[in-house]
Structure 1
């Protein structure tokens, strides 16, 4: 039986173990929305993960939705991320970058010229975002015109090219957590007509165009995709999640992606959210046929069982990696985990970021 601690090859990337550090927004970018020296140290400390998925990074200035999140669209950002990837590789790790467009989950104060956020719809999201003024209601978005979408796809393509130039081993397309691509996917948000609205095939069109563009640019073996069929962070569920996400997976399966990263249930919440329909993740896995990464509330024991039973090939951990830079060692030895300082998750400096102790 495979073990959580066995090496594995994921597409074109060889991993030392099957423990993945999930992408985690920490709001510590420096001027120019660049990763700074603290971020270099933060990821270096966690290089014993089989794979690090670096925090979601806006693909363009219009893609930003939160204060101080590091982007991947300027030369300066690419150079700054190169310091991160060099540090991780120097410590023996592997790291990919999550490509992010928040869509309507943004505020005009974060966008060029005070522009309105863009989305599949002109309806605002029922949530807040983090700005210089603290948490505020998101701004009312503007619905993207169909003729604007090819340029958006090119932004993803360029961001993938930039990530490879920055030394990343690959990228993960963020199609989850009700951000832009999922705003097009779900009929609870997408109220448009035409080629990108209405039917499942039309609503999935943008995500599939993005994934194909990214895989065509850097290779499918360096491209992953994240999905969250039952997450309701800032949007209701689709009327038929099984059919929608089943279609997406069937369409991406022939591409030969490095992996599919699936959040089981509500992100950071129950695996079977109250009122949500039962969801057959195994059906998606069979349709995909490739490397399968699971995420949401796994412990060391449940992660080991998931890999040993064949339920998953890789298991992603979020918050445990924040407070335990040496998480793989702790899981293997059964050592206790450091307590998370929840008040230090977003923004600030080294405290609650790079000062968690590793085992002696």
Structure 2
């Protein structure tokens, strides 16, 4: 009897030593819901590539933290806020999802931000751009990686106005993201002494931009600013070239361009475009090595959004590993307290509002003769430090900021 009691005690002690990792993790697993646009206008710059980027991050931890498995599930929000909200609720309430990641489309992201805030779940954004996500709609559990409408538009606007392109006309995606992109670019243009001659709002996923481009052409504005993204940007740039806007002396400004867009447009069409990105595969040995792994899985180089998904998921998993728990409040605090350092960024601080202050880079698209091969598309013009690229935390309008 005494031997049985000793054995039982030893068993309890061993379980106590072996079990903390599982005991500290909800549901005995770490479950990440990758919510993206899998078939629409943003599927190329996010989509399945974002899922692969998240998997690459998990693989660096052996797909487990302290013996607790990391599981990644994927869903399509179809660029609809109600679909995004419904999936987020289902994942959290019935499928024990701990984290929601990606969510390109600002309207969808704002809906998910409200739900994750209410349900106390981490939200890792790499794709939506509205500054409201780290402003008036910020969350203690929301983290915004990669870029926002201020960082991508202000650097591009500043460069063009400095060059003398001072009159602007906007072709804007008619929802939260496009409105925010136009607003942030307009502020910069006007602050630098430029003028906005007009603009037009365009439904998401429009195939025919002809009437909108004719209005831009008739405005006489020096810059035709495309406040859209993904497939919409590709279509509008192609059609603007067909209508002869660049040939007529107007400058096309893609306020959110990704390398995937350049690839689809081709260099003869895209050459000379100015853009701001937070990531380019050919920056250094680290970015090239990671991008090679990504290309082996996807057949193409990563967009900044996809690189941002990797960085965000990796930072989250590292915080969980360091703490030994996936407790939401503890992990959120750890993530904010720890600068982000990986192949994408170095020592990037996270503000109280959840904004990651990574560097932004101003690029020019190469002429065909300057390119050494596929995906060699960009020339670096300027590095904009994170502290300058983004709205200061104190001015963000986030209620969390003390």
TM-score normalised by the chain length of structure 1: 0.30
Q: Could you say which structure has the larger radius of gyration? A: 2
